[in-house]
Structure 1
Amino acid sequence: MASSSSSSSSSLLTATTLTLFCILITLSSTTASNGGFRVELIHRDSPKSPFYNSQETSSERLAKNLKRSISRASHFSKNTFYSPNTPQSEIIANRGEYLMNISIGTPPFPILAIADTGSDLVWTQCKPCTDCYEQESPLFDPKSSSTYRDLSCSSTQCSVLEGTGCTESKLCEYEMSYGDRSHTQGNLAVDTVTLSSTNGRPVALPKTIIGCGHDNGGTFDKKGSGIIGLGGGSVSLTTQLGSSIDGKFSYCLVPLSSDSDQSSLINFGSNGVVSGSGVVSTPLVKKEPDTFYYLTLEAISVGSNKIPFPGGGSSFAEASEGNIIIDSGTTLTLLPREFYSEIESAVADAIGAERIDDPAQVLNLCYKATDDLKVPVLTVHFKDADVKLGSLNTFVRTSEEAVCFAFVAVDNLAIYGNLAQMNFLVGYDTEAQTVSFKPTDCIKA
């Protein structure tokens, strides 16, 4: 498959019905001789996903994905950021974007939990469960793990997470609420977290900070048993991997067609380095909350028409630096309304074809799906990095008849979604504070 920078409109029309990456992952990792390891990513609508519904049509799955993408945006708004007294972070209202197979404890106890790039804490439902949502798999029993330890209120680990308090027995208690009003409450603890390995050698992470949830509820699906935070905060799984991965990880999102269940991969450590011909890098910007990964968007070009990103406003999306979040769990690319209107107008002018309504009633700029539809190349101008997007990254087929522009307008927010990242090797280096992009055929990566 051609890289995204050279994707044709014909590939768009034949392979995009199932390419939305509001994805779930089932995680299996492989250790490598150089210290890195690799993890499998599975699209939430793939037959490999526990959320796969064979009774749904491709268009029905797509419509749900698009609506989840819009819903997710609200969780990145100021109203859902952490505050000192009532911590909040992102969680998907419709069962989560990712799932992850990991094990907790000694002996390892397998759990299948939502992997969330928009939150930090790793937690699972635990016995005894005072008030838990229904889950299909057994609950984790901390008494069965020889390496499980509740943290005291006076411990350093207790102080690094906002929203903690003390139980009557002086144990550290956490309480977190999410943007969709889901919640978890329980004991903050440490235990060994183990990632399964496809080569038979598990990756064990001793003394990992976890939450043992005894009161959990909201929109969680019964197939999942908690949250695995992969954000940038101090207690996220990626941060706790620490020096073992040198702050490096990368992923390559595979465009899925209806006849393919090819998995994507996420790489950690030395395997996560993005290098070679065609790589461009842009600075990561440190901002609050540190959970999210902020980049600086300077402009977007539609063909040769360069449109500068607005600046000077009060919202973070109008700041001079760190004005856009890169997120692998949001399908669409979300832009402030005025800026989006300029981009949409330029794209429509470049295509010059008759517009139609979106059957999914989510996207604004749609056309009949024909082989002769000419989609312009969009260049995303991040600071120090120009990323060229082909039709695979910018348009999506929402029905047999329609293809639509996969960018949407929102208020005071900007998110660089996963459709724009497909067929790129995207690398994060939290030590060097950069994100790198390399056009890549992710099926062969």
Structure 2
Amino acid sequence: MALVMIFHMLFSIALAVTVSIMSPSPLSLAKSDNLGFSVDLIHRDSPVSPYNHSLTPFECIGIALRRSSNRVNYFKLASLSAQAVSTEVIARDGQYLMKMAIGSTKFSFLAIADTGSDLTWIRCSPSTWCYKRKAPLFNPKRSLSYEVIPCNSKKCKSVPGSFCSRNGTCSYLVMYGDKSFSHGIVGTETVLLDSSARKPASLPGIIFGCGYHNRGTFSESASGIVGLGGGEVSLVSQMGSSIGGKFSYCLVPLLSQNTYSSRMHFGAKAKVVGKQVTTTPIIPTSMKTFYFLGLEGFSVAGRRLEIYDSSSSSPTDTFGAFKKLPIIIDSGTTLTYLPSNAFTKLELAVREAVKSRPIGDPQNRLKLCYRYNKTLALPIIVAHFTGANLTLNPMNTFLPTGPGVLCLAFLPDDNVAIFGSVAQMNFLVGYDLAKKTVSFKPTDCTKK
């Protein structure tokens, strides 16, 4: 097994995004059919990232594990009610940054790209600031394309957490698990997917939030949130037929981030086709923001493990003849989280398959670790989704948490199940929101 590769896959922590439009002229996505364009994803800790602090690889891993824990806390809060999903987003722990522009002034900024939220919002001027910031502010009064939305309009009602202000404009309030918040006015604006080499693609009339009152532990270098969830007002949903409801991404392994960029694709460029493609349906739930898949179980070294056996009593019985676990697929969460019973089964199977003696995690966060040496043989793990068997190599299931130490990149959690970014590396992961499916294709993501 190519275990050396594991030490070259610092999972994606946070990525800055630059857009490369596949056309030499200005484009209006609203008037285009299935337009194809791609996005370069730059690792948060790469030399060109605004977050580059010259951290060691293992320091990056430690920070990433803490972010993963914070991200899970958000999903726990959101799962308490469908309304909570709509009114809470995570700002400080997002995994990706997206470079874009807005308005007739072509105001350029970085925002956190989040598949776990819907509303796109940006910090606006004048603003009340109660935290450090390096990011500039957007002044909507200087933009000719900016429009305020009336509070009694259909557009206003489509925004979760919206309400009428005293002057009759549509306002929003998004709350965070750490008591951070953003409050402002809902409007429409032209969003530009910017490119330094080519003309930008233009998305007119995008519903977004202009945040005038923001408090909490937001990122210093990001100006807001780009909502890429499954809800009605997410940027992906508002693009609609112009991208055919399709987007995909391909996350490069670890230290490859210094040489190669990950990629995100939209429209025709987002198609996932080929002999090795495996596809699973997105499970419909009341929490439309999140993308849920049906996980039936795992195989470890050829041994099948069901999430729920025939004696299990679970509210997931209604998802089919075989009991399935609704699991959120999320590129913003590092690790994969499973219910305690399922995690215990998986951990025991890995212990039985690996002949070496387990050791402690230097980060004191992961449960099962081994000392790396030439004799260490890690098993192949297969994730069994509805209609799809996804073969995970050791680089998808183990993380280097210290010199010569590899740890299982799974943790138990009885409140939320998440299929995280480490498990998705070196796969082309495609979302088809029209067909309600997610497809996977084994891919060398270092190759364009």
Number of aligned residue pairs: 434
Q: CA deviation at 1:244?
A: 0.6
* 2:314 alignment counterpart: 313
Q: CA deviation at 1:368?
A: 0.7
Q: Out of 10, 14, 35, which is 1:23 matched to?
A: 14
Letter aligned with residue 436 of structure 2: Q
Q: Is the Cα–Cα contact under 8 Å of residues 47 and 258 in structure 2 kept in the other structure? A: no
Distance 2:217 2:314 in 1: 34
- Cα pair distance change 1:294/1:337, threshold 3 Å: same
* 1:393 alignment counterpart: 396
Q: Which deviates more from structure 2 when the two are superposed, residues 37-46 or residues 418-427?
A: 37-46
Distance 1:289 1:26 in 2: 27
Q: Secondary structure at the match of 1:398?
A: strand
Flag structure 1 segments of 5+ consecutive residues without an equivalent. 1-6
* 2:225 alignment counterpart: 227
Is the aligned partner of 1:43 residue 2:37? no
Q: CA deviation at 1:306?
A: 0.4
Q: Which deviates more from structure 2 when the two are superposed, residues 376-385 or residues 40-49?
A: 40-49
* Structural mapping, 1:101-250, within 5 Å: 101-131=99-129, 133-197=131-195, 199-250=197-248
Q: Is the Cα–Cα contact under 8 Å of residues 256 and 262 in structure 1 kept in the other structure? A: no
* 1:440 alignment counterpart: 443
Q: Secondary structure at the match of 1:68?
A: helix
Flag structure 2 segments of 5+ consecutive residues without an equivalent. 25-33
Distance 1:85 1:46 in 2: 34
Distance 1:309 1:135 in 2: 44
* 2:73 alignment counterpart: 74
Distance 2:236 2:317 in 1: 25
**TM-score, structure 1 as length reference:** 0.92
What are the superposed Cα offsets for residues 5-51 of structure 1, whole Å, 9 maximum, x if unpaired?
Answer: xx622322x423xx222322323232359720000112222222211
Q: Is the Cα–Cα contact under 8 Å of residues 92 and 219 in structure 2 kept in the other structure? A: no
What are the superposed Cα offsets for residues 359-403 of structure 1, whole Å, 9 maximum, x if unpaired?
Answer: 011111101121321010000000110000111101111111311
What are the superposed Cα offsets for residues 112-150 of structure 1, whole Å, 9 maximum, x if unpaired?
Answer: 111111111111111121345442232110011000001
* 2:359 alignment counterpart: 356
* 1:378 alignment counterpart: 381
Q: Is the Cα–Cα contact under 8 Å of residues 18 and 195 in structure 2 kept in the other structure? A: no
- Cα pair distance change 1:183/1:132, threshold 3 Å: same
Distance 1:73 1:259 in 2: 25
- Cα pair distance change 1:175/1:316, threshold 3 Å: farther
Q: Secondary structure at the match of 1:388?
A: strand
Q: Secondary structure at the match of 1:341?
A: helix
* Structural mapping, 1:419-430, within 5 Å: 419-430=422-433
Q: Is the Cα–Cα contact under 8 Å of residues 27 and 99 in structure 1 kept in the other structure? A: no
* 1:431 alignment counterpart: 434
- Cα pair distance change 1:234/1:411, threshold 3 Å: same
* Percent identical: 43
Q: Secondary structure at the match of 1:216?
A: strand
Q: Out of 258, 272, 275, which is 1:274 matched to?
A: 272
Q: Secondary structure at the match of 1:46?
A: coil
What are the superposed Cα offsets for residues 224-259 of structure 1, whole Å, 9 maximum, x if unpaired?
Answer: 111111111111111111111010011110013178
Q: CA deviation at 1:203?
A: 0.7
Q: Is the Cα–Cα contact under 8 Å of residues 30 and 198 in structure 1 kept in the other structure? A: no
Q: Is the Cα–Cα contact under 8 Å of residues 96 and 114 in structure 2 kept in the other structure? A: yes
- Cα pair distance change 1:68/1:250, threshold 3 Å: same
- Cα pair distance change 1:59/1:131, threshold 3 Å: closer
Q: Secondary structure at the match of 2:347?
A: helix
Distance 1:256 1:171 in 2: 47
Letter aligned with residue 142 of structure 1: P
- Cα pair distance change 1:341/1:60, threshold 3 Å: same
* 2:29 alignment counterpart: none
Q: Which deviates more from structure 2 when the two are superposed, residues 417-426 or residues 196-205?
A: 196-205
Q: Secondary structure at the match of 1:356?
A: coil
Letter aligned with residue 4 of structure 2: S
**TM-score, structure 2 as length reference:** 0.92
Distance 2:242 2:80 in 1: 29
Distance 1:239 1:366 in 2: 41
Q: Which deviates more from structure 2 when the two are superposed, residues 255-264 or residues 301-310?
A: 255-264
Letter aligned with residue 281 of structure 1: T
Aligned residues: CA RMSD: 2.2
* 1:3 alignment counterpart: none
Distance 1:261 1:288 in 2: 41
Distance 2:244 2:85 in 1: 32
Distance 2:185 2:291 in 1: 28
Q: Out of 2, 10, 13, which is 1:8 matched to?
A: 2
